[in-house]
């Protein structure tokens, strides 16, 4: 990791000052307005309480969204979400990291709503230099509308890991040595939104959004980012001491990942032969 040139003494100063800032504002994790900006939705996105809760809502006229103040080059992002309850068919709640530019990198979680009592679909994708088409979809082993659950993205030089309540559901390994682009030099920001996608989201667009149920609201809290914050053209405030930067799945996590993949995965691009008549993408042989 020669590109991380920040000196231990700088790190210590940074750590110390962020600890002090946190002490001053009492509870850092709770203060969403310190870390996130509401970006669109004309009043449909709201910080509630003392900034410990954020609500995004959607009605017939518009959805809404927020983004992180910081950009990260590698990071571990956690947030708790409580998804739209009841008849949420046609709605999509997104939670993703994305860089800017025309050959962007992106790491996606999307939650596709459904009719009351029917299960959500959790959609994931990874883009490297503007190229995606790496979808995996899952069902959940709980009702994501009844309580808050933690959705995490770990992005480090080894791999990208999607987790829910600490259980990994997908790992996208760094296979650059096989010629697969891996996000590594474009800083990404966290984005989240709720919008209407009833032209495709639920059963390929057959089930339409029931606007009599609007507004549709999803809740967010406890945003936590341990990341290499991008500032003045380089990553800072992280390095050898950040365990997440070197972390890989241990045997127990690998076991849980397999459990999810065997029991809850409903779509995997790597097994969709019809889509790739010319042969599967390279990473499918190794993932």
Ligand X SMILES: *[C@@H]1O[C@H](CO)[C@@H](O)[C@H](O)[C@H]1NC(C)=O
Which residues form the catalytic set? 106, 110
- Contact segment (CB under 6 A) with ligand X among 21-29, 33-41, 114-122, 248-256 equals 114-122
Contact with ligand X (CB under 6 A) among 125, 163, 193, 202: 202
Q: Which of 219, 205, 195 is nearest to 59 (CA)?
A: 195
User: Per CB under 6 A, does 156 bind ligand X?
Assistant: no
Nearest distance, CB of residue 258 and ligand X, angstroms: 23
Nearest distance, CB of residue 137 and ligand X, angstroms: 9
CA atoms of 14 and 198, how far apart (whole Å): 46
In the bound state with ligand X, the residue whose beta carbon lies nearer, of 66 and 162, is 162
Give the residues across from 128 on adjacent strands: 131
- Contact segment (CB under 6 A) with ligand X among 1-9, 23-31, 115-123, 241-249 equals 115-123
- Contact segment (CB under 6 A) with ligand X among 19-27, 40-48, 116-124, 235-243 equals 116-124
Contact with ligand X (CB under 6 A) among 30, 119, 157, 239: 119
User: Per CB under 6 A, does 163 bind ligand X?
Assistant: no
Tokens 């959004």 appear where?
A: 209
Nearest distance, CB of residue 115 and ligand X, angstroms: 7
Q: Which of 102, 78, 106, 87 is nearest to 163 (CA)?
A: 78
Distances 222 to 23, 24, 148, 150, 160 between C-alpha atoms, Å: 17, 18, 10, 9, 21
- Contact segment (CB under 6 A) with ligand X among 94-102, 150-158, 200-208, 271-279 equals 200-208
CA atoms of 122 and 113, how far apart (whole Å): 9
Tokens 């900006």 appear where?
A: 37
Give the residues across from 189 on adjacent strands: 71, 98
Cβ-proximal residue to ligand X, closest one? 118
User: Per CB under 6 A, does 87 bind ligand X?
Assistant: no
Give the residues across from 108 on adjacent strands: 96, 125
User: Per CB under 6 A, does 118 bind ligand X?
Assistant: yes
In the bound state with ligand X, the residue whose beta carbon lies nearer, of 122 and 228, is 122
User: Per CB under 6 A, does 92 bind ligand X?
Assistant: no
Q: Which of 84, 43, 67 is nearest to 196 (CA)?
A: 84
Tokens linked to 6 = 């920040």
In the DSSP assignment, the letter for residue 177 is G
Contact with ligand X (CB under 6 A) among 11, 94, 114, 159: 114
User: Per CB under 6 A, does 93 bind ligand X?
Assistant: no
Nearest distance, CB of residue 277 and ligand X, angstroms: 25
Helix (H, G, I), strand (E, B) or coil at 286: coil
Are the beta carbons of 123 and 137 closer than 8 angstroms? Answer: yes
CA atoms of 83 and 93, how far apart (whole Å): 8
Number of residues that bind ligand X (CB under 6 A): 8
Chain contacts with ligand X (rule: CB under 6 A): 112, 114, 118-119, 121, 201-203
């Amino acid at each position: 990791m020669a590109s991380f040139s920040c000196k231990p003494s700088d790190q210590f100063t940074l750590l110390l000052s962020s600890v002090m800032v946190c002490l001053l504002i009492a509870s850092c994790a709770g203060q969403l307005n310190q870390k996130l900006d509401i970006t669109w939705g004309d009043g449909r996105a709201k910080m509630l309480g003392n900034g410990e809760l954020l609500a995004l809502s959607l009605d017939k006229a518009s959805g809404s969204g927020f983004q992180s103040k910081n950009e990260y080059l590698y990071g571990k992002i956690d947030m708790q979400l409580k998804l739209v309850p009841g008849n949420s068919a046609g709605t999509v709640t997104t939670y993703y990291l994305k860089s800017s530019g025309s050959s962007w990198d992106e790491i996606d979680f999307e939650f596709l709503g459904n009719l009351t009592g029917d299960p959500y679909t959790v959609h994931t994708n990874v883009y490297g230099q503007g190229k995606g088409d790496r979808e995996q979809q899952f069902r959940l082993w709980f009702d994501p509308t009844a309580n808050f659950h933690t959705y995490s993205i770990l992005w480090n030089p080894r791999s990208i890991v999607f987790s829910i309540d600490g259980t990994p559901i997908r790992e996208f390994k760094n296979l650059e040595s096989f010629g697969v682009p891996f996000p590594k030099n474009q800083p990404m920001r966290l984005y989240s939104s709720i919008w209407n996608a009833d032209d495709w989201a639920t059963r390929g667009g057959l089930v339409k959004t029931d606007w009599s149920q609007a507004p549709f609201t999803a809740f967010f809290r406890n945003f936590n980012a341990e990341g290499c914050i991008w500032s003045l053209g380089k990553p800072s405030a992280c390095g050898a001491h950040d365990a997440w930067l070197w972390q890989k799945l241990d045997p127990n996590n690998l076991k849980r990942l397999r459990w999810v993949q065997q029991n809850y995965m409903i779509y995997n691009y790597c097994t969709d032969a019809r889509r790739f008549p010319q042969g599967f993408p390279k990473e499918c042989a190794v993932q």
